[in-house]
Structure 1
Amino acid sequence: MIDFNSLAGITAGEIVLSEYSGEIKYLITDSRKSFFAGGGIFFAISGERHDGHVYIKSLYDKGVRQFVVEKDVEASHLPGSNLLKVSSSLMALQAVAKAHREQFNVEVVGITGSNGKTIVKEWLFQLIVPYKRAVKNPHSYNSQIGVPLSVWQLNEQHEVGIFEAGISVPGEMEKLEAIIQPTVGIFTNIGPAHDAGFNSRKQKIQEKARLFQHTEHVIYCKDHEEIDQYLAGKGFSWGHHVDSDVRIMDVVHNERETVVNIRFGSDHVFKIPFIDKASIENCLHCITYMLFKGYDSLSIQEGISKLHKVHMRLELKKAIHNSYVIDDVYNNDLAGLQIALDFLSHQKQHESKSVIISDILQSVADQQKLYTQVNELLKTANVTKIIGIGPALSRFKKLFDMEAYFYETTADFLKQHDFTSFRDEIILVKGARTFAFERIVRTLEEKIHGTQLEINLDALTNNLNFYRSRMKPETRLMVMVKAFAYGSGSLEVANLLQFHRVDYLGVAYADEGVILRKNGIYLPIMVMNPSEDSFEKLYQYQLEPEVYNFNIFRQLISFLGNRPMKVHLKLDTGMHRLGFEEGDIDQLIGLLQKHSNLEVKSIFSHLAGSDEATHNTFSREQAEKFERLSGRIMQNLHHRPLRHLVNSPGIVRFPEFHYDMVRLGIGLYGLEANKLEQHRLQPISRLKTIISQIKHIKEGETVGYSRKGLAKEDMQIATIAIGYADGFSRAFSNGVGEVWLHGKKAPVIGNVCMDMTMIDITGIDASEGDEVEVFGEHLTIMEAASKINTIPYEILTNVSQRVKRVYYVE
């Protein structure tokens, strides 16, 4: 057991404060993921965009009492705590994990390669757990921080550890090897991923293979010649090559499975439940490991028959009775539960939080200890209700000291539980695959037709961090969530932005701000279009209006009397939309001095042409005018308000005009208006629907309203469940628009209807119920916009609110 007093020796650090006697249970590296405060130790890591030291006091206030720092920290502000000073908090984290690993003499499988690491890890875990007590990385925790957090899970009950390791530059793998200390290795393959970080493919192989520098046996595919050249003699190989230890003699594909004939001592036949090349390769790595470890063919076949596609994302969906459901129904282990609970704890839409959980299918010697720990995790995450499904949870139900219900099977729960009891809450559904919890999610989901807008919150975070990388550390950030967050969902996006500590949110109307306030958003919110009838809501919900002319100024003063309110002054420097003009400034200063109950939080303006170089001169003229006018106002105020001028394109093109704050809009949602840095952004949205019906049309027949679609030959058409009421513009009619179906573009035929659209699928093998992409990975929003001569903003914001939104993180 590692205690705080031993950390100085492990990390070569200096104990500054030692006043807390609790044990170290959890390693915390992200201050936002700190609901495991009791027994947690926080490593304050200084990164490119975030400095963990800034959040030490807030973590202390949440109950964290153990800290590892690399900067001087005022110990008197942390009474009753432990404080360790080190040269590098990251290196200290890795040293602690290394020391922890060295306490256990168990088999550890180390996995690396360009692709397939996570799949191989997950499948190998599924194959091993019926026979041995195993532990693995949660999700894709394979980085310099993720690996230490993963290895920390090892305890005296485990017999096997399965850990993947990923690197992007030379020198990283030695650190991960020292932490994982694998006894057996798996090298999946080599490909172009992270090529930019290495001088050559050979160097990348050498760097990745450093994971196995103290490992006697490494499993790999001998057909990968570059890997074979490096590992030959050390590896335990499989492949078609005659010298492979496990030789592939024959491979037969059919519609649903792949039959592989393997020679290893004698001949073995395995039926793999996949037909794609990547899944077959990943599965053969696992089969080879199992053969290497002496498992018999029948046991291996039984295991691989139960393998399923690894579901690597958490999905947040609207649910019945004004609730949300978090869908995580494909695996259930303790580390995965911690990640899911962490995600649950970030959702502020409702205070009430429920967890529907299955038995944890990890073979552990002490199940009472396991479920005691589950109860502690649920309480720490402020879960208000648990529904446990499975014989083990039912057996240990007395361990759970909260509102609790238990059922032996999923079918029992669906039949017996009162679903009207779910109301105004966040519901995490977390279950092992065998419990088929997807049936529960389908029951809880809000019933809307088959069109969905998927929103990738990881991509949104990537885009946020890109724009932050273009800002000075002291510059503040306002993010626009108006227009339903550009169609992406104001509340859900705002919740993520609050988690990532942006400084301000911007909405168009007071009602948008009220919804955010009612659902747990406490960030400052600027309202861009206030009206007299919204003043009561502005005041009640502490929303901050934009004041852009004397009419709205006087109406606001009349409403407030002497009551205070924070406001934002809009100046018109050339956009000629809203804002005070130069001739208004003296009068405006006089009114501000007279009515000191108005606190000016910011002064701002808007560049009219920041996205086009042809308007650079005009943009600079606007900036000069803004400097002059805002300066005059500030000279006559008793405090210094923030100033902001640039929007998304301006953040990239005009760093000299960032002032105190910048406003991020469309860029957050994956569209770089300048097109200069589009490659740095990730699309966050994918609009998809389903085929409702397929018809065969003969030459000369017509399709749709006004008979606009004419069959020039015999053809096959499909009706898809999307129309202009969903945001698929009528301008896409008659071949202008296209959708993506099974790797091919299918044009619209006839007029787009209100709720449906017909597409030409002649030559495409499709069935009713198949998924169709309207825009996303294969058909971009920019392509869709260009088809109808509009801008991507319109495509995004036109997606109707009746279209179901699904939010996910990988």
Structure 2
Amino acid sequence: MQLEQLYAHFLNYPKISTDTRKIEEDSLFFALKGDHFNGNAFAEKALDLGARYVIIDEADYFIDERTILVSNVLQTLQELAKYHRSKLTIPIIGITGTNGKTTTKELLHAVLVEKYTCFATKGNLNNHIGVPLSLLSINKEFEIAIIEMGANHQGEIEFLSELAQPTHGLITNVGKAHLEGFGSFEGVKKTKGELYAFLAAHQGICFIQHDNSNLVEMIAAYPSLKQIKYGFSEDNEVFGKLIKANPFLAVEWFSKKELEPHTVQTKLTGSYNTENILAAVAVGLHFDVSDKQIRLGIEKYTPQNNRSQITQTAKNTLIEDYYNANASSMKAALENMAVIEAENKVIILGDMFELGDDSPAEHKTVIAQAKTIPTSRLIFVGKDFYAHRDGDAEYYQTTDEALEALSKHPISSSFVLLKASRGMAFEKLITAL
């Protein structure tokens, strides 16, 4: 089937399904394959559950005229998304970065939705499957869209940019994450910088944290790329500072066009989120969102999904930040704990994954940094931290061992940071806190 014909079906039935457990009636079911499943085998079930058409790539699963046979289902999904994107005329903001991209995406959406009908990537659908699904969710009602793009190997941001074709872009930062896939920190910078390369080649506009030396170095390769600068120094178009973190952030910001100070009280914790807030301000101002609307949008935003999320239990106040962890996000989380105003601080850290050969050194660095912060208890969990155990802190090889220790020796009346890679399953610890 020609792409134009498939697109005609999509316009008639603009809902995409890839999982029969969540299928929607009158949708197009794309029979994707994974390491442990073959979507082709679910094509008939998808039709039984209400799919209008199924797209498969194995002839053995052909059913009837409702079956569309293609050479590669994933590639077809991507091509359909790119074709749909080519029909859209709205601004699309591409976001990538090592840390903070999901929070920044949500802050941008919170600001822009005060004025526009704004689409933003749901959850973290930011990879070679999630980006096409996000693009195909943008209908004619939306006036602007934000597409989050993640990567764990070189060339991925270039590919996703070709799909999303952003008119505007933002790299939050670059840090040491997924080093197994990127090869090195230089590999991280090269890959994230592929967004700058796309914008420069297509007369796009870039929002840049211009006090970040890595980003400034990366963008220098594209002198023609239009930059809108934000950060902490007064030479940026938008600049500001953290006023208070107790634990929620209050931030003051200025714009060069109007040097009157604006203050916003947020529901965010983590001093590292100050620059994400300033990014949202810069984007909002560029798209003519008023100062009042910007403040309202940021004040309304509440973080979720274990990303710098404040939880009050019967015994303690927790920062739940175990959606992901890497060397740079761990450093930022600890810097935040150092400035938070709290009497009894407890730090519980879990292993960082996918750091390759750099893993031993990076875990050792985190231990050293954590020990500079006055705490009533300092706990490290996981085999990588355990390899550096000493007598100055508590070390446990597994999350279950840490849970047992916390149950025997409970923590109360404390401000507790929980930070780890997702695979450490730190949510188990909440029952003891």
TM-score w.r.t. the length of structure 2 is: 0.66
Given the alignment of the two structures, is residue 738 of structure 1 paired with residue 409 of structure 2, yes or no?
yes
- State the match for 1:66 in structure 2: 53
Given the alignment of the two structures, is residue 28 of structure 1 paired with residue 24 of structure 2, yes or no?
no
- State the match for 1:561 in structure 2: none
Number of equivalent positions: 341
Change beyond 3 A, Cα 1:228–1:120: same
Change beyond 3 A, Cα 1:202–1:242: farther
Superposed displacement of residue 247, structure 1: 3.9
Change beyond 3 A, Cα 1:671–1:72: farther
Match for residue 111 of structure 2 among 121, 127, 138 = 127
Give a deviation string over 1:345-387, Cα, whole Å, max 9, x none. xxxxxxxxxxxxxxxxxxxxxxxxxxxxxxxxxxxxxxxxxxx
Change beyond 3 A, Cα 1:74–1:109: closer
Change beyond 3 A, Cα 1:177–1:21: closer
Superposed displacement of residue 202, structure 1: 2.9
% same residue? 24
Change beyond 3 A, Cα 1:684–1:172: farther
- State the match for 1:523 in structure 2: none
Give a deviation string over 1:125-160, Cα, whole Å, max 9, x none. 111112111111111111111111111111111111
Query: Over the residues paired in the alignment, what is the CA RMSD in angstroms?
Result: 4.2
- State the match for 1:280 in structure 2: 274
- State the match for 1:170 in structure 2: 154
| Structure 2 residue identity aligned to 1:288 | A
Question: Structure 2: where are the runs of 5+ without partners?
Answer: 324-380, 387-396
Match for residue 190 of structure 1 among 155, 174, 180 = 174
2:32–2:38 CA contact under 8 A, matched in 1: yes
| Structure 2 residue identity aligned to 1:312 | N
- State the match for 2:300 in structure 1: 307
2:58–2:69 CA contact under 8 A, matched in 1: no
Q: Distance in 2 between matches of 1:21 and 1:218?
A: 32
Q: Distance in 1 between matches of 2:90 and 2:29?
A: 28
- State the match for 2:194 in structure 1: 210
Change beyond 3 A, Cα 1:312–1:686: farther
- State the match for 1:84 in structure 2: 69
Q: Distance in 2 between matches of 1:777 and 1:184?
A: 32
Give a deviation string over 1:417-441, Cα, whole Å, max 9, x none. xxxxxxxxxxxxxxxxxxxxxxxxx
Superposed displacement of residue 28, structure 1: 1.8
- State the match for 1:444 in structure 2: none
Change beyond 3 A, Cα 1:46–1:683: farther
Secondary structure at the aligned position of 1:739 is classed as: coil
For residues 637-786 of structure 1, the aligned pairs below 5 Å read: 737-740=408-411, 766=413
1:238–1:288 CA contact under 8 A, matched in 2: yes
Q: Distance in 1 between matches of 2:242 and 2:14?
A: 48
Q: Distance in 2 between matches of 1:62 and 1:686?
A: 44
1:133–1:160 CA contact under 8 A, matched in 2: yes
Q: Distance in 2 between matches of 1:70 and 1:683?
A: 42
Q: Distance in 1 between matches of 2:186 and 2:284?
A: 29
Superposed displacement of residue 45, structure 1: 2.2
| Bigger relative CO (Cα 8 Å, ≥ 6 apart) | 2
Superposed displacement of residue 201, structure 1: 2.3
Q: Distance in 1 between matches of 2:296 and 2:139?
A: 28
- State the match for 2:366 in structure 1: none
Change beyond 3 A, Cα 1:685–1:146: farther
Q: Distance in 2 between matches of 1:92 and 1:27?
A: 13
Match for residue 252 of structure 1 among 243, 255, 260 = 243
Superposed displacement of residue 738, structure 1: 2.8
| Structure 2 residue identity aligned to 1:271 | T
- State the match for 1:54 in structure 2: 41
Secondary structure at the aligned position of 1:94 is classed as: helix
Q: Distance in 1 between matches of 2:252 and 2:260?
A: 8
- State the match for 2:363 in structure 1: none
Give a deviation string over 1:696-732, Cα, whole Å, max 9, x none. xxxxxxxxxxxxxxxxxxxxxxxxxxxxxxx999xx8
Match for residue 292 of structure 1 among 279, 286, 292 = 286
- State the match for 1:7 in structure 2: 3
Secondary structure at the aligned position of 1:190 is classed as: coil
Q: Distance in 2 between matches of 1:21 and 1:177?
A: 22
Q: Distance in 2 between matches of 1:177 and 1:52?
A: 26
Question: Structure 1: where are the runs of 5+ without partners?
Answer: 12-19, 314-329, 331-448, 460-669, 676-680, 688-726, 742-765, 783-795, 806-810
Give a deviation string over 1:430-461, Cα, whole Å, max 9, x none. xxxxxxxxxxxxxxxxxxx9599xxx9x99xx
Secondary structure at the aligned position of 1:220 is classed as: strand
Q: Distance in 2 between matches of 1:289 and 1:671?
A: 40
- State the match for 1:415 in structure 2: none
Change beyond 3 A, Cα 1:57–1:207: same
- State the match for 1:117 in structure 2: 101
Secondary structure at the aligned position of 2:69 is classed as: strand
Give a deviation string over 1:498-550, Cα, whole Å, max 9, x none. xxxxxxxxxxxxxxxxxxxxxxxxxxxxxxxxxxxxxxxxxxxxxxxxxxxxx
Change beyond 3 A, Cα 1:21–1:210: closer
Superposed displacement of residue 205, structure 1: 2.3
Secondary structure at the aligned position of 1:73 is classed as: helix
- State the match for 2:344 in structure 1: none
Change beyond 3 A, Cα 1:685–1:117: farther
Secondary structure at the aligned position of 2:46 is classed as: helix
Superposed displacement of residue 105, structure 1: 0.5
Give a deviation string over 1:304-325, Cα, whole Å, max 9, x none. 3x23332127xxxxxxxxxxxx
TM-score w.r.t. the length of structure 1 is: 0.37
- State the match for 1:95 in structure 2: 79
- State the match for 1:221 in structure 2: 209
Give a deviation string over 1:62-88, Cα, whole Å, max 9, x none. 33342222222243xx235232222x2
Give a deviation string over 1:208-265, Cα, whole Å, max 9, x none. 23234135211121121111112244222212346433344x5533645434243413
Change beyond 3 A, Cα 1:119–1:684: farther
Secondary structure at the aligned position of 2:159 is classed as: helix
1:273–1:307 CA contact under 8 A, matched in 2: no
Superposed displacement of residue 106, structure 1: 0.6
| Structure 2 residue identity aligned to 1:226 | N
Secondary structure at the aligned position of 2:83 is classed as: helix
Change beyond 3 A, Cα 1:239–1:451: closer
Secondary structure at the aligned position of 1:260 is classed as: strand
Q: Distance in 2 between matches of 1:80 and 1:685?
A: 56
- State the match for 2:365 in structure 1: none
Secondary structure at the aligned position of 1:168 is classed as: coil
2:43–2:61 CA contact under 8 A, matched in 1: no
Give a deviation string over 1:150-197, Cα, whole Å, max 9, x none. 111111111111111111111222331122211111111111222221
Given the alignment of the two structures, is residue 240 of structure 1 paired with residue 232 of structure 2, yes or no?
yes
Q: Distance in 1 between matches of 2:42 and 2:245?
A: 56
For residues 141-160 of structure 1, the aligned pairs below 5 Å read: 141-160=125-144
Secondary structure at the aligned position of 2:35 is classed as: coil
Given the alignment of the two structures, is residue 136 of structure 1 paired with residue 120 of structure 2, yes or no?
yes
Superposed displacement of residue 273, structure 1: 2.3
Secondary structure at the aligned position of 2:89 is classed as: coil
| Structure 1 residue identity aligned to 2:263 | K
Give a deviation string over 1:103-128, Cα, whole Å, max 9, x none. 22111111111111111111111111
Change beyond 3 A, Cα 1:272–1:41: same
